[in-house]
Amino acid sequence: MRACLVLLALLVAEGIAQSKKKDGSLADRVEQLTELSLKRPVIRLNGNKFRELVKGTPRNYSIVVMFTALSANRQCAICKQASDEFQLVANSYRYSPAFSNKLFFAMVDFDEGPDVFQSMKLNTAPVFMHFPEKGKPKKQDNMDIQRIGFSADVIAKWVGERTDVNIRVFRPPNYTGTVALLMLTTLIGGLLYIRRNNLEFLYNRTAWSLIAMFFVFAMTSGQMWNHIRGPPFVHKTQQGGVAYIHGSSQGQFVLETYFVMLIYALIVCGMIMLMEAGESKGDSGKRRALAVVGLVLLAFFFSLILSIFRSKAGGYPYSFLFK
């Protein structure tokens, strides 16, 4: 009987020791993550640190990890921009009232942790993944950058949905636009002063029409949206190619807006040619050629812009020339 009591006491003592060891390990990991986060909002991890701090259990904290390949040899066209946006979110969180030891931001570079990419079965970059306090990451814990992009505001919103931590993104002030506007105003003012005795060009209808059309093309192509949201220039697909057109109507790439602007301009050129062919009274052969070229431009590029819209809008049923 006494031997049984001694054995029971030893088992209880061992259980208590194991519990204390686990608690101590968790406390050490939280302390280490907090110290690293205070030094650098985005903690850089290698394979060992990833397994210890991210995959280690138990956890009472969430951690958002960006898997990337920043080396120029890896030829990741968007990794640097994605890293800057991720850094912006982490900095905003670090200096916000919501900062605590319940959420951390980390990064694994392929050159520093290739074994991590292999263990996570990742063959592309960048990838944003949330590791919750309990359990394994679910499908929603992997941010779909192909659908929603990776701007800082999008990342912050996604983090808020996964962790209930609301992060207000604070972008550093950018005076490039202000300086450019001042330079443009100075240039225009200087030009008007130099030609103050000859301002007939201000009444040139063609010049003002071109300026108005350029403004319309810029606005309808989404340049203001680019200025507000800061989307990537292009996007690297999972197959290793480059996507120039965003697959969703909720997003766009910078290069895509240039394509759209050019297509709109060519459609307008086709309309102008058709109108000139109908109004002019010159050579009939020239008018016919002008009409044919205008009709081809209008039909081809209208079909192209409709096809782009159809690919982004999903179930849009109408098409013309192109599917």
pLDDT at 1 over 70: no
pLDDT at 18 over 60: no
Question: Which residues neighbour 77 within 8 Å (Cβ) at sequence distance 6 or greater?
Answer: 233, 234, 236, 242
**Farthest-apart Cα atoms in the chain, separation:** 120
Binned at pLDDT 50, 70 and 90, residue 10 comes out as very low
Q: Tens digit of pLDDT for each residue in 213-242? A: 888 888 888 888 887 777 778 777 766 677
Q: How many residues does the chain have?
A: 323
Domain boundaries, the chain: 24-163, 200-313
Fold of 24-163: Glutaredoxin (3.40.30)
pLDDT at 22 over 50: no
CA distance 139 to 137: 7
pLDDT at 185 over 80: yes
Q: Which residues pair with 129 in a beta bridge?
A: 65, 142
Instruction: Write down the pTM of the prediction.
Output: 0.56
Q: Find the mean pLDDT for residues 93-109.
A: 90
Any idea which of 3-17, 25-39, 138-152, 253-267 has the lowest mean pLDDT? Answer: 3-17
Per DSSP, 62 falls in state E
Question: Which residues neighbour 47 within 8 Å (Cβ) at sequence distance 6 or greater?
Answer: 113, 114, 115, 116
Q: Tens digit of pLDDT for each residue in 256-274? A: 889 999 999 999 999 988 8
| Long-range Cβ contacts of 219-223 (<8 Å, 24+ apart) | 220/260, 220/261, 220/264, 221/257, 221/258, 221/260, 221/261, 221/264, 222/252, 222/256, 222/257, 222/260, 223/257, 223/261
Helix, strand, or coil here: 247? coil
Q: Tens digit of pLDDT for each residue in 66-91? A: 999 888 787 787 888 889 999 999 99
CA distance 189 to 191: 5
Q: What is the pLDDT of residue 19?
A: 42
Q: What is the pLDDT of residue 204?
A: 79
Question: Which residues neighbour 313 within 8 Å (Cβ) at sequence distance 6 or greater?
Answer: 249
Q: What is the pLDDT of residue 226?
A: 80
